[in-house]
């Protein structure tokens, strides 16, 4: 070895020494960071914990040394989740599972159930395959979500009861309008007709004019009463079913507003549950009301299709349209009350609403009711 080589060798030796010291410092710094981390950190090898940091141990009520090399991983997992966790561990070692978070239940030293979210990946530890990961206690989040879901279900049941009560009240008022007020007005009309026949031909003109005005007013009131009764709850929905009622309502809508409105149906050969038929009718009613109020449309198409256990309702118009995102983000709830009412009703049968619209290009409402069987309540 020459003098120059000896000189270079000395330089490289000194450099390696400095590098080793830096590496030792970085390793020590990294160890301090892991030990002080607020999230759980672990290494699994041969189904045992080979390393856990203090946060991980505290999560389950242990000291790190009590877990490391002593506790089987699945001993800390809830009995109902062990099979799933074991399968994920096997898939991790086999490289068959992507690095994605996984939520499961754990059992603490005191036997308390906690929820945790783990993110792990395969590593080499002391020359052997292992799994390294992080663990976060998400018990509070899960419990909060469960409470929210519980309250949501309670609100859904309350909403269903309110809608049912509203329908029952509408039906009662509709029947009273038809049976009581309608019959009374008819009786008054008949009495007026008898009075008119009994009047002498030379009766004062003012009396004949007032009588004619009264007859016209009674006829107009009868017409409005029948119309209001039908709008509250058309008796034909109970007597004839959904399809004839929709045809009648859409015919009335077309004649009243002079908007070309068509209705088609397919795949429907039996009646649906009464509650569902009421919901579909009310959705069509609300959808066409929105068209009349806001769309400025000249053409509307309503289609009801049943196939593959799904009932699909579509209401499409050629009106002015709107920005869907802007509408749903608007703080003014009045602008979207109609759609909110539709969503509230269809949720009773797990229905979904899709709104497709843009300014100047019309609007299409697409409602899907899944898992529907005709003829069942």
Confidence at residue 29, expressed as pLDDT on a 0 to 100 scale: 64
Query: For helices 274-290 and 242-257, what crossing angle results, to 10°?
Result: 10
pLDDT, averaged per 10 consecutive residues of the chain (377 residues), comes to 48 43 52 85 94 95 95 95 92 80 94 94 91 93 91 82 80 76 84 86 87 89 82 84 94 92 94 92 93 93 94 96 86 72 90 94 96 72
Confidence at residue 16, expressed as pLDDT on a 0 to 100 scale: 42
Return phi, psi of residue 371, to 5°: 50, 55
C-alpha to C-alpha distance for 128 and 363, rounded to whole angstroms: 61
C-alpha to C-alpha distance for 157 and 38, rounded to whole angstroms: 41
User: Are 289 and 364 contained in the same domain?
Assistant: yes
Provide the domain count of the chain: 3
C-alpha to C-alpha distance for 157 and 159, rounded to whole angstroms: 5
User: Is 166 inside a domain boundary?
Assistant: yes
| Residues of the domain holding 284 | 235-377
Confidence at residue 375, expressed as pLDDT on a 0 to 100 scale: 65
Confidence at residue 30, expressed as pLDDT on a 0 to 100 scale: 64
Return phi, psi of residue 196, to 5°: -60, -40
Q: Is 0.85 surpassed by the pTM of this model?
A: no
Beta strands, E only, 84-236: 102-107, 113-125, 128-137
Confidence at residue 235, expressed as pLDDT on a 0 to 100 scale: 82
Write the CATH number for 342. Answer: 3.30.565.10
For residue 111, the 8-state DSSP code is S
User: Is 5 inside a domain boundary?
Assistant: no
Q: Tell me if 260 sits within 8 A of 322, measured CB to CB.
A: no
Confidence at residue 9, expressed as pLDDT on a 0 to 100 scale: 47
- Which residue in this structure is represented by tokens 């959808």? 287
User: Are 217 and 271 contained in the same domain?
Assistant: no
User: Is 9 inside a domain boundary?
Assistant: no
Q: Tell me if 47 sits within 8 A of 82, measured CB to CB.
A: no
User: Are 271 and 205 contained in the same domain?
Assistant: no
Exposed / middle / buried, residue 49 (Cβ in 10 Å: 0-12, 13-18, 19+) = buried
**CA-wise closest residue to 106 among 141, 60, 64:** 60
Confidence at residue 310, expressed as pLDDT on a 0 to 100 scale: 94
User: Is 125 inside a domain boundary?
Assistant: yes
User: Is 38 inside a domain boundary?
Assistant: yes
Exposed / middle / buried, residue 305 (Cβ in 10 Å: 0-12, 13-18, 19+) = middle
Last residue of a domain, one of 85, 120, 137: 137
């Amino acid at each position: 070895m020459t003098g120059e080589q000896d000189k270079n060798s000395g330089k490289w030796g000194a450099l390696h020494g400095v590098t080793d010291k830096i590496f030792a410092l970085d390793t020590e710094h990294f160890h301090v960071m892991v030990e002080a981390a607020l999230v759980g950190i672990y290494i699994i090898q041969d189904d045992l914990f080979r390393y856990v940091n203090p946060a991980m141990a505290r999560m389950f009520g242990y000291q790190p040394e009590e877990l490391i090399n002593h506790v089987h991983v699945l001993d800390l997992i809830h009995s109902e989740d062990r099979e799933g966790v074991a399968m994920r561990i096997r898939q991790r070692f086999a490289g068959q599972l992507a690095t994605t978070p996984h939520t499961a239940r754990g059992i603490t030293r005191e036997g308390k159930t906690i929820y945790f979210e783990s993110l792990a990946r395969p590593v080499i530890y002391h020359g052997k395959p292992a799994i390294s990961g992080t663990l976060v206690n998400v018990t509070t989040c899960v419990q909060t979500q469960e409470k929210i879901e519980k309250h949501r279900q309670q609100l859904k049941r309350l909403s269903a009861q309110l809608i049912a009560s509203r329908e029952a009240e509408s039906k009662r008022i509709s029947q009273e309008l038809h049976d009581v007020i309608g019959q009374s007005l008819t009786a008054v009309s008949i009495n007026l007709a008898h009075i008119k026949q009994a009047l002498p031909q030379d009766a004062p003109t003012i009396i004949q004019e007032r009588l004619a005005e009264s007859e016209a007013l009674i006829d107009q009131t009868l017409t409005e009463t029948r119309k209001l009764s039908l709008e509250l709850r058309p008796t034909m929905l109970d007597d004839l079913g959904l399809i004839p009622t929709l045809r009648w309502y859409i015919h009335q809508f077309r004649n009243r507003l002079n908007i070309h409105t068509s209705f088609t149906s397919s795949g429907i050969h039996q009646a649906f549950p009464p509650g569902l038929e009421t919901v579909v009718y009310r959705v069509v009613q609300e959808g066409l009301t929105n068209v009349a109020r806001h769309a400025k449309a000249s053409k509307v198409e309503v289609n009801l299709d049943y196939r593959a256990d799904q009932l699909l309702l579509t209401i499409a118009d050629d009106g002015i349209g709107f920005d869907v995102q802007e509408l749903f983000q608007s703080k003014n709830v009045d602008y979207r009350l109609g759609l909110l009412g539709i969503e509230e009703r269809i949720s009773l049968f797990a229905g979904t609403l899709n709104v497709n619209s843009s300014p100047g290009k019309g609007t299409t409402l697409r409602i899907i009711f899944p898992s529907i069987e005709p003829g069942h309540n």
